[in-house]
Chains A and B, each alone.
Chain A
Amino acid sequence: MWRLIIDEGNAYRNMAIDEALLTLKDRGLIPNTVRLYVFNPSAVTIGYFQRINDSVNLDYIKSNGIDLTRRISGGGSVFHDVNGEVTYSVIASINDVSQNVIESYKIICDGLIYAISQFGLKAEFIPINDVVVKNKKISGSAQSRRKTALLQHGTLMYNTDLNILSNSLKVPKEKLEQRKLTSIFERVTTLSRELGRTVSKDEVIEPLIKGFSKALNADFIRGWYTDKELELANELANKYRSREWIFQR
């Protein structure tokens, strides 16, 4: 039996909860958990190894009230739109997913593919960590691992404002050159864009639950955090809002 938590909070709290759950899962203290959550206010998260000045337009996000933090997971920078993106986290025993990193990305991303298929769209997993619809990225994921547990968190863009995304994130020109593309608009999409109508958050939650249930072969019980989880997350939230952490490289 897996726990399902649906949540909303700021970037520091969201990233702190993910890390708290990974830590406690690795100690064998909590059940496998799927979180579905929204960043409120909108935020940019950058990968653990990224340099801030190479990945984020700081002036733009500051003047637009967009929060910023660094993840414990690698990967690239992400714009989490309060009105257009749901983030998922899977916190589980590595043995319940896969020892192999790429295989585990695929297993978990299949949950997104099933969810997207419920909108009549065909999505594909592109290793290492992307899900695309018609060759455009609609979801990106990132994983962090401890000895016995993994955390994979990622996005599903149902109605992300791609102008704000494009203005918030810097993409290395080497990446665009290799893909022979010129802008974020040509390589990123949303459910709303693909369907030609405005998709709401409420429409994507149930498909995501069904999708992850199928992909992870999991029965979910809707639940909430324990006091211990919240206590650890509260401590960690200070790290995620600190300049030392965010601007460390």
Chain B
Amino acid sequence: MVTCNSVRRAVGGKTIKVDLEVTNGVIKNIIISGDFFLFPEDYIHLIESRLRGLKIHEVPNVMLEFKDSVEVVGASIEEFIDVINEAYKSCMGE
């Protein structure tokens, strides 16, 4: 298991941090944190649970499915995907 993280200041002004645990190229655990706003708030748990068990290339499609059900303010779903990718790359030592 490898753990790693990535942090970014979103264009909308808020901070996004992604903490990842990766085993054999599979996301074992993920926490998307920061000072952004996301409505409804408890969807963050649903998003994180949908990402567990995925390979990195599967992340964008799953994340984009949430575009209709959540509103992100101060950051964006696309930026969440970018920070997840950055964290994954650092897990892989890239």
Residues of A within 8 A of B (CB): 47-51, 54, 72-77, 101-102, 127-129, 142-146, 172, 174-175, 178, 249
Bound CA span A47–B41, Å: 10
Known: A174-B8, A174-B15. A49 touches B73 (CB 8 A): no
Known contacts A73-B41, A175-B15: A51-B33 contact under CB 8 Å? yes
B35 near A75 with CB under 8 A, answer: yes
B8-50 at interface with A (beta carbon < 8 Å): 8-9, 12-15, 17, 19, 31-41, 44
- Verify B35–A74 contact, CB threshold 8 A: yes
Interchain CB contact under 8 A, B33 and A74:
no
The answer to whether the Cβ of B59 comes within 8 Å of any Cβ in the partner chain is: no
The CA-CA distance from A51 to B17 in the complex, in Å, is 9
Complex: chain B residue closest to A55, CB-CB: B35
Q: Apart from A101-B73, A129-B37, what 11 extra A-B contacts exist at CB < 8 Å?
A: A48-B41, A49-B32, A49-B44, A50-B34, A75-B37, A128-B12, A144-B39, A172-B7, A172-B15, A172-B17, A174-B7
Of A49, A142, A146, A249, most buried by chain B (CB within 10 Å of CB) is A49
A128 touches B17 (CB 8 A): no
Residues B60-83 near A (CB distance < 8 A)? 71, 73-74
Q: A172-B15, A175-B15 are in contact. Are A47 and B35 (CB under 8 A)?
A: yes
Residues in B neighbouring A146, C-beta threshold 8 A = 40
Report B45 CB to chain A, min CB distance, Å: 9
* A159 CA to B40 CA, complexed, in Å: 34
Inter-chain CA distance A229–B31, complex, in Å, is 33
Q: Specify which of B9, B38, B74 is in contact with A174 (CB 8 Å cutoff).
A: B9
Q: Which residues of A contact B13 (CB under 8 A)?
A: 127-128
Across the interface, do B71 and A101 meet the contact criterion of CB distance under 8 Å?
yes
Number of interface residues of B (CB under 8 A): 24
- Nearest CB on A from B44, distance (A): 6
A127 neighbours in B (Cβ, 8 Å): 13
Q: Which residues of A contact B41 (CB under 8 A)?
A: 48-49, 72-74, 144
CB of A74 within 8 A of CB of B31, answer no
Give B38 Cβ to nearest chain A Cβ, in Å: 6
Closest to A127 in B: B13
- A-side contacts of B34, CB under 8 Å: 49-50
Cβ contact within 8 Å between B37 and A128 = yes
Q: How far is the CB of B86 from chain A (nearest CB, A)?
A: 12
Q: In the complex, A120→B12 CA distance in Å?
A: 31
Chain A proximity of B25: nearest CB distance (Å): 24
Q: Which residue of chain B lies nearest to A76 when distances are taken between CB atoms in the complex?
A: B35
Are B9 and A49 closer than 8 Å at their CB atoms? no
Contact for B36 among A49, A102, A144, A178, CB less than 8 A = A49
Q: How far is the CB of B80 from chain A (nearest CB, A)?
A: 11
The answer to whether A102 and B73 touch (CB under 8 A), given A142-B37, A249-B33, is yes
Cross-interface CB contact of B38 among A51, A74, A77, cutoff 8 Å: A74
Contacts of A48 in B (CB 8 A): 41, 44
B33 touches A128 (CB 8 A): no
Q: Does A49 contact B33, Cβ atoms closer than 8 Å?
A: yes
A-B contact pairs, 15 of them (CB 8 A): A49-B34, A49-B35, A51-B33, A75-B35, A75-B37, A102-B73, A128-B13, A128-B37, A142-B37, A144-B39, A174-B8, A174-B9, A174-B15, A175-B9, A175-B15
